[in-house]
Every structure is written in structure tokens, then in C-alpha cells.
Amino acid sequence: MIDARAAVLLEAGGDPRLSDVTIRPPVDDEVLVRIDAVGICHTDVSVAARWPAKRMPMVFGHEGVGTVVAAGPAARAAEGQQVVLTFASCGRCGDCADGRPAYCDRSTDLNLRGDRRDEASALRLGGEPVTGGFFGQSSFATHALSRPANTVVLTTALAPELAAPLGCSVQTGVGTVLNALSPTPDDVLVVFGAGAVGLSAVMGAKIAGCRAIVAVDPVPERLALATELGATATVDPTAVDVVAAVGDLTGGGPNLAVDSTAIPSVIATAMTVLRSCGTLALVGLGALNAELPVGLILGKGLRVRGVVEGDSDPHTFIPWLADLVRSGELPVDKLVTTFDLSAFDEAWAAAKSGRVIKPVLLTG
């Protein structure tokens, strides 16, 4: 067993706390990764808030990046390689075989439920198993185990604090635009919510060369950043009528929209602003149910589709995103605020409150 530190959730309704843990060596196709940086995502916060007591203690974290320090006999990554850890998939179902691993038949089990907290578990606290395997990694730690499907090798090194968000939030935002919506320079896109995913969608729209890009958010600082990242116009929903404002700014409404808020009223507004035959992509994790304005959808011929992890194949998409970061076309650094792992409490509070857009923990 290897000594490590991890942020462990110990009680329902509480916050994870840094604790001394141990982690077992890798077996089979696993690799042991020394985590150099890990982003805190809204998914970590929202799932932790409702994690059942019977499944504790638990370690979250799913935007890890680090260096392979040990590899099982069937591992594909080698010691010394820099890897980005992303979502897990089975690699065997129909969607995985067709290049759609984000829609893996076992996605919920592999990503959101953690392991069984038994003798096969990676982590121990006080000698007892800890639930891990969140998104196949549980990377709020100095070390994590992962498997080939969610271990993406970067052949050219990238600063860990910039690589970490590529594993989920940036992949989701940019991928939703480029992979799922596939806009052309004639298209107009509006993004609801200017958090890490929404701002990544703005950057994706700029990369695509959309004719107009509108960001909607109530926080002035986030709207200013959206403009810096490529939005051609911004809207504060607390100050104006969103439907009227977006219609005026886009000459009749956008044909594409992204909702990253998962707030039912915002989703309804997003559908209202779309012009006929427009498409709304839903990417936010929040409210699990929302009323659909069926008459509006039918009358305007709208399309509404969910998008998971940007419709991406991470083994090709994440290295491509990394190249865009290096070239300056994807300025992820504008989203990131770094914290030492020892300041986990502060970083977690910043994520919960929305005080910073993308908190990234540095573990070195």
C-alpha cells in the first residue's frame, strides 16, 4: 500500500476533509497516477451534497491530471507519461463500439456510483475500504488509480492546471458546440450560464467562427469574461427581458442554444428565444425534470437534445483540445484559479459559492 492524502466525505451534508489514506498498487490494466492537478467541477459538488450515508466514506474528483508512476501488466499507459483522467466507459457496449463512449450502457454505474467499498477498492482510511472510483478515478487525492478508457495520454506536456479542466468541463462545453451542434459561420448561438462549461461553449463557438455569440448570465464579471473569450454580445437576465434582448441582438433570435444551468425556467427561456427549427443542447446537471412547452416545440419545429461530455471520444478530443490550449486558441487559463491541496476547504467553498469559475487544486 502507498501512503497518500485525499479529500474524504465522511458525513451526509458535510464537506470533504483532507485525510491520510493508503492506495493499493495497480493490477491488470490499471495505472497508478500521481495527481499533479485536479479541477473541482459542479458535478462533484452536486453529487456530494446528496451522497447517501451508507456509501461513505467517499472520495470525489474527476478532472485529474498527473504522471503515471506504476502500471499493471495490461496497462496501455506507461510510467512517466502525463495523462488526463476523464469519464469512464466499458469499451464493449454498442455505443462504445460506435465511438460514443459518453453514452456507454454502464455510464451511470462507472461514473456516478463509485465502487463497492470492498477489498478490491483502491483506497483505505484507517485500514478500512473507502468508496472510490468516481468517474473511474476519485482524483481529489495525491494518487489515483485509473483504467485505459478514462486515461488519456498527452504526448506533449501541458501545464497540469490547464490540462485538468479538459477532462470534463472544457471537453463538455467545447464539445457540445463543435461535436453536437456543429455550427457554421452563418449560425448564431446563445449560451445560458457563464460558468466553466458555458464559457467553454463560448470558446467553442468562437473556434467554429459563429456569426454571433451571445452569453446570458447575471454576474457582470462573468459576462465581461465571456466577451473576452469571444461573445459578441452579453445579456444580464436580471436587468432586461431576455427574449426581447436576445431577439434584438441577433436579428430575430439564434438558431442554436446551449443551456448549462439546468434551471427549468432558463430552459424554457432558451426554447422561447430560438428561431424556427432551432436546436437547444442541454448539458447542465441540476433539476432532473422540467416542463416542456410542447406547443412551442411543435409550432417552431425545435430540436432539444441532451449532450454528455461534449459527445466526445476523449482519446482523440482531449489531445486536440490540448493542442488548442498550447496555440492560444483555447485560453483555459482565463477560467482557472489555483489552490494548493492543503487549501482544499477554501477551494471547495469557492466552488460551492461560484466565487471562482474553475478552482484547480495543485497537489505537488
- Tell me the per-residue pLDDT of 25-56, one tens digit each, with 9 for 90 and over: 999 999 999 999 999 999 999 999 999 999 99
CATH of domain 173-308: 3.40.50.720
Identical fold for domains 2-157+331-362 and 173-308, yes or no, is no
Strands 31-39 and 143-146: antiparallel
pLDDT of residue 290: 78
In the CATH scheme, what architecture does the domain 2-157+331-362 have? Answer: Alpha-Beta Complex (3.90)
pLDDT of residue 291: 82
Give the start-to-end residue ranges of the domains of the chain: 2-157+331-362, 173-308
Listed as ranges, residues in the chain with pLDDT below 70 are 287
pLDDT of residue 119: 85
- Tell me the per-residue pLDDT of 304-334, one tens digit each, with 9 for 90 and over: 999 999 999 999 999 999 999 999 999 999 9
pLDDT of residue 226: 98
pLDDT of residue 118: 84
pLDDT of residue 284: 84
On whether the pTM is more than 0.85, the answer is yes
pLDDT of residue 279: 98
